[in-house]
């Protein structure tokens, strides 16, 4: 996938048809897309949206191409995910990992801030409520924005996601969602 994306880099940045992408993949790349698509479908079980495996595969292909265009920006391929229950997001992370995104996990705001003091990340994904408090995602966002206005920040939260959108945007977040597919789209767009 990265090879195909590199070929596209010199051309118009429009994403070719999925059939063209698939026909140019080797077996290992195709396996990654299938694992990513299946993981995305499994993640949708928490927030059903009617996404089928072919739609998920298309989404993973597009994300893979977008991320493949990040030549020389290896730090952008590394995301900090803050959640006090990281196992709840394993399918989502597997979908991202299928197109070579890596994660550092933090379970608290203080742990996340300590990690941010030592490393640059392409994006931050956070849940909202943690043991520290019911709006700890906003606490992390506030601390981040006190020193860093550039790193994309996303809240990945439950059914109350819509309630947080305006406030999150006002505080400097790039997106709020409860939908795994929407998360993939928002984050890969921000990484480009």
64 vs 16, more confident: 64
Cβ contact 117:125 at 8 Å: no
- The answer to whether residues 1 and 25 touch, using CB atoms and an 8 Å cutoff, is yes
Beta carbons within 10 angstroms of residue 94's beta carbon: 16
pLDDT at 119: 94
Q: Which 8-state DSSP code applies to residue 89? A: G
Which whole number is the average pLDDT over 16-27?
59
Could you give the CA distance from residue 141 to residue 129 in angstroms, rounded to a whole number? Answer: 13
| Domain segments of the chain as ranges | 2-68, 74-191
- The mean per-residue pLDDT over the stretch 40-65 comes to 70
- Judged by average pLDDT, the poorest of 27-31, 122-126, 161-165, 183-187 is 27-31
Q: Is the pLDDT of residue 130 over 50?
A: yes
Positive or negative, the Cα torsion across 126, 161, 57, 61? negative
Report pLDDT for 23: 62
The 3-class secondary structure across 153-169, one letter per residue, is: EEEECCCCHHHHHHHHH
CB 21 within 8 A of CB 14: no
pLDDT tens per residue, range 86-101: 999 999 999 889 888 8
Question: In this structure, are residues 171 and 142 in contact, taking their beta carbons and an 8 Å threshold?
Answer: yes
CATH no., domain 74-191: 3.40.50.2300
Which is more confidently placed, 66 or 84?
84
Mean pLDDT of 33-48: 71
Mean pLDDT for the stretch of residues 22-29: 67
pLDDT of 182 higher than 50: yes
Query: Average pLDDT in the 152-157 region?
Result: 96
Rounded CA separation 191/67 (Å): 7
Q: Measuring CA to CA, which residue among 135, 122, 139 is closest to residue 190?
A: 122
């Amino acid at each position: 996938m990265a090879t195909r994306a590199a070929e596209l880099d010199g051309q118009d940045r429009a994403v070719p048809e999925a059939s063209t992408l698939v026909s140019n993949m080797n077996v290992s790349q195709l396996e990654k897309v299938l694992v990513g698509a299946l993981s995305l479908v499994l993640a949708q079980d928490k927030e059903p949206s009617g996404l089928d495996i072919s739609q998920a595969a298309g989404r993973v292909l597009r994300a893979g191409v977008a991320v493949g265009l990040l030549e020389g920006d290896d730090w952008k391929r590394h995301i900090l995910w803050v959640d006090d229950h990281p196992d709840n997001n394993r399918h989502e992370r597997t979908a991202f990992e299928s197109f070579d995104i890596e994660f550092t996990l933090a379970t608290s705001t203080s742990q996340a801030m300590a990690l941010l003091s030592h490393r640059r990340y392409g994006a931050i994904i956070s849940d909202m409520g943690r043991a520290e408090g019911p709006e700890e995602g906003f606490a992390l966002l506030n601390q981040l924005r006190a020193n860093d206005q550039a790193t994309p920040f996303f809240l990945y939260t439950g059914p109350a996601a819509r309630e947080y959108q305006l406030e999150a945007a006002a505080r400097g977040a790039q997106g709020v969602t409860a939908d795994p597919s929407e998360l993939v789209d928002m984050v890969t767009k921000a990484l480009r």
